[in-house]
Chain A
Amino acid sequence: MDAHHDELTENVEENADAAAFADALPSTYENVTVDNPSADTTVPVDCDYYRRLSKYELEQIQQDISNTIRPRWQSGPPKQLGTKGCGKSKADQWRSSIEFDIPVSLVKLWSEMKSTGESGIDDKIIDRKGKTLDSTMLLHAALHWATSYRTSGKHAAEFMKYMRAYLASLRDLFPNTDLRTCHHNALFIGEMLVRFGPIHGWWMFPFERIIGLLQQININYKMGMDYNFSLDPLFAYFSLGELEITMLKSFCAAANLRALAQSHRCPDIIRSCAHLLDDCYGQDQRGTLMNNLRTLGDFADQEKPWDYDRQKFDRIEPLIHEALVRFSQSCSIEGWTAETDALFHKEHEIRGLKIAEINAGAKNTKGRHSIIFFQPTTDAELVPAVVRKIFSMPRQQNGCEQEAIFLAIHRYKPLSDRVADPFILYTGFGGRLWSEELGPVEIITSSQKICHAVSRPWEEGVRVLCAIDRVS
């Protein structure tokens, strides 16, 4: 665990629960009869005055956002973040901005400031910015524990620890500002993580998407009122019309059909068509429990025999083949030998994650799925790499030929000593600086832990890379 975070969290009482922060809530909710005007009429100026980012800082952040390379499924924060022009950000956008964009930008902006060593009032501002950054990191850590695909007593406890520390840091930064009710509510999420399982099973993303879907339906500006009903005062009150009933009916029918396809009593003819349904409508499962199940899924899929065509195989580049031979010597895989031909994939899905080779894709999509983090050995730290090739080879196991997937990758080299890494303070953040230089070709298998990465140039020859590790 990381030292700086521990330091930040240790001061907060472990046993403090939601009630501990209740006194920080606006008093208007506690006592209804007393109309309490804002408790203090004077606000220390430095709170208000330095609350806002300067124009320069805002521009830097916007520039950083457009320089960021992220996987296609992550919707980045709006390019004009912070201006009125960007409109209202969506939940997904807030999510990616706290996961990577803003913490990294702030570290970059404000670590530069420290090094200039100004004095007087500027010290105060720097101190305040440092505290704001710490608090951002605490929020990041809390969210990381809350939004993981797995949950456990430990996840809940860690979430609560960081959330308490975060709220304490808010109280420290803005002693005169009341906490909001949402801060109070957040303290209940720990308990719910234990009771209801991973947050993905019960958060509102899928529901919001259905609402979005319903709003997009073209109804020609007609409210679906059925006139026969509307004569009846009771039905007029509900104003539920033909259109709504049709929609509700087909929604229920679709849900029933899905349930039927999963049940044991399902007729074979329907079961054989079920995959069509999945192919057509199974795509949009972002942020749902289904998505998690796939990502966490065991390797049941891979137990199937692999039907392949040797005509489609290509020769492996000598450089990669050398690496493959080295790999086969270092760890032997049952029923597999390092052959000279393999089936290459431009893009391949491994446990719900699309991994692409670095040269695949058009101008805008190139490389977005090629920067990955992987676990070299069990329990080792994740390291970043670029995917050069993805290929499959046959492998004899349990009496049938199965597909074995390999990735040829180049690791990013660790940073040389001459550049200081400001992220060292926040190891819980999951992002660090890496040299842009690449190491020699290595081979990894698809059974190793792999996740996508977000990256952004830091300075000449240095990148900041952050794993999007939702599984731990």
Chain B
Amino acid sequence: MAEEWLAATSKTEQNQIFKRTGVRWSELLRLTYWDPTRSIVVDGMHNLFLNLVKYHMETVVGLREEAKAVFPAATTEEMVEARKVWAKGLTRESQLKKVKVPALLGLCAENEVSLPNPQGRRLKRSVILAALMVRHISVLSNVTEFSHRNHAAKGWTHTMMN
């Protein structure tokens, strides 16, 4: 694998190989007795502080500025309004017209609606709406009424219904 990396002709190709295998070429590999899985010391500074703690702070605790892909948390008022609409029972998407996206996400969280992985992009409003509708309809066990109204939502709503 490392030789594959060495033989790669461009940086992009090397990056791709590294992404796939997690292995890069090292000059030490030319030493015949050197076994990379056994002759390595894990460095305390990099491993503990620059990896573990950094990962913990940024990902687990969530200590970082909100990236563009993520919506800010909904305010309490917004959530109160959104819950009211939800409690009334949904039949049409237009009922949720006045509810803003953060509050919609809040509703999804409260009602355990799973959403597709946005893969770094912002979730589309229509996708969230469709997911909420599916959830509501499945609550009413009135599956037949539901039609795939959104092209983007089609693939995964289908898997969800199964």
| Chain A residues close to B by CB (< 8 Å) | 28-29, 32, 35, 38, 40-46, 49-55, 58, 61, 81-84, 89, 91-92, 94-95, 97-98, 102, 106, 120-121, 132, 135-136, 139, 143, 146-147, 170, 173-174, 180-183, 185-186, 188-189, 192, 196, 199, 202-205, 208
Q: Which residues of B contact A170 (CB under 8 A)?
A: 60
| Residue B7 lies at the interface, judged by CB distance under 8 Å to chain A | no
Interface magnitude class on chain B = 35 or more
User: C-beta contact mask, B111-151 vs A, less than 8 Å → 1, else 0?
Assistant: 01111110000000000000000000000000000000000
- The answer to whether A203 touches B45, judged by C-beta atoms less than 8 angstroms apart, is yes
- Given known contacts A94-B50, A170-B60, A204 and B114 CB-to-CB distance under 8 angstroms: no
Q: Which residues of B contact A203 (CB under 8 A)?
A: 43-45
- The answer to whether A173 touches B44, judged by C-beta atoms less than 8 angstroms apart, is no
A49, B103: Cα distance in complex, Å? 11
- Given known contacts A41-B156, A180-B51, A139 and B56 CB-to-CB distance under 8 angstroms: yes
Closest 5 A/B residue pairs (Cβ): A182-B51, A203-B44, A52-B62, A91-B49, A199-B44
Q: Of B22, B57, B59, B70, which one neighbours A181 at CB under 8 angstroms?
A: B22
Q: Which residues of A contact B152 (CB under 8 A)?
A: none
A40, B65: Cα distance in complex, Å? 26
A147, B47: Cα distance in complex, Å? 12
- The answer to whether B114 touches A42, judged by C-beta atoms less than 8 angstroms apart, is yes
- The answer to whether B20 touches A32, judged by C-beta atoms less than 8 angstroms apart, is yes
Tell me the minimal C-beta distance from A302 to chain B in angstroms: 32
- The answer to whether B52 touches A186, judged by C-beta atoms less than 8 angstroms apart, is yes
Tell me the minimal C-beta distance from A211 to chain B in angstroms: 12
- The answer to whether A94 touches B57, judged by C-beta atoms less than 8 angstroms apart, is yes
Tell me the minimal C-beta distance from A404 to chain B in angstroms: 38
A42, B66: Cα distance in complex, Å? 21
- Given known contacts A32-B1, A83-B65, A136 and B114 CB-to-CB distance under 8 angstroms: no
A356, B152: Cα distance in complex, Å? 66
Q: Which residues of A contact B108 (CB under 8 A)?
A: 45, 49
Interface members, chain B 24-72 (any A CB < 8 Å): 41-57, 59-66, 70, 72
- The answer to whether B115 touches A189, judged by C-beta atoms less than 8 angstroms apart, is no
A50, B106: Cα distance in complex, Å? 10
- The answer to whether B45 touches A186, judged by C-beta atoms less than 8 angstroms apart, is no
Given contacts A136-B60, A147-B48, 11 further A-B contacts (CB under 8 A): A45-B109, A45-B113, A52-B66, A91-B49, A97-B53, A98-B49, A102-B61, A135-B60, A139-B56, A185-B51, A203-B45
Tell me the minimal C-beta distance from B48 to chain A in angstroms: 6
Q: Of A41, A81, A196, which one neighbours B117 at CB under 8 angstroms?
A: A41
Tell me the minimal C-beta distance from A157 to chain B in angstroms: 17
A58, B53: Cα distance in complex, Å? 17
- The answer to whether A61 touches B53, judged by C-beta atoms less than 8 angstroms apart, is no
Q: Which residues of A contact B46 (CB under 8 A)?
A: 91, 204
A183, B56: Cα distance in complex, Å? 11
- The answer to whether A94 touches B49, judged by C-beta atoms less than 8 angstroms apart, is yes
- The answer to whether A185 touches B42, judged by C-beta atoms less than 8 angstroms apart, is yes
- The answer to whether B47 touches A182, judged by C-beta atoms less than 8 angstroms apart, is yes
Closest to A97 in B: B57
Q: Which residues of A contact B60 (CB under 8 A)?
A: 51, 132, 135-136, 170, 173-174
- The answer to whether A94 touches B54, judged by C-beta atoms less than 8 angstroms apart, is yes
- Given known contacts A53-B61, A170-B60, A95 and B112 CB-to-CB distance under 8 angstroms: no
- The answer to whether A98 touches B53, judged by C-beta atoms less than 8 angstroms apart, is yes
| Residue B6 lies at the interface, judged by CB distance under 8 Å to chain A | no
Q: Of B47, B61, B70, which one neighbours A106 at CB under 8 angstroms?
A: B61
Q: Which residues of A contact B59 (CB under 8 A)?
A: 51
Q: Which residues of B contact A95 (CB under 8 A)?
A: 49, 53
Q: Of A45, A53, A98, which one neighbours B105 at CB under 8 angstroms?
A: A45
A202, B44: Cα distance in complex, Å? 8
A202, B42: Cα distance in complex, Å? 10
| Residue B110 lies at the interface, judged by CB distance under 8 Å to chain A | yes
- The answer to whether A94 touches B53, judged by C-beta atoms less than 8 angstroms apart, is yes
Q: Which residues of B contact A54 (CB under 8 A)?
A: 73
A40, B119: Cα distance in complex, Å? 12
Q: Of A41, A136, A188, A205, which one neighbours B116 at CB under 8 angstroms?
A: A41
| Residue B91 lies at the interface, judged by CB distance under 8 Å to chain A | no
A29, B65: Cα distance in complex, Å? 30
- The answer to whether A186 touches B109, judged by C-beta atoms less than 8 angstroms apart, is no
Q: Which residues of A contact B48 (CB under 8 A)?
A: 143, 146-147, 186, 189
Closest to A196 in B: B41
- Given known contacts A132-B60, A181-B22, A121 and B110 CB-to-CB distance under 8 angstroms: yes
Q: Of B50, B53, B66, which one neighbours A143 at CB under 8 angstroms?
A: B53
A97, B49: Cα distance in complex, Å? 10
A188, B38: Cα distance in complex, Å? 11
- The answer to whether A91 touches B50, judged by C-beta atoms less than 8 angstroms apart, is yes
| Residue B21 lies at the interface, judged by CB distance under 8 Å to chain A | yes
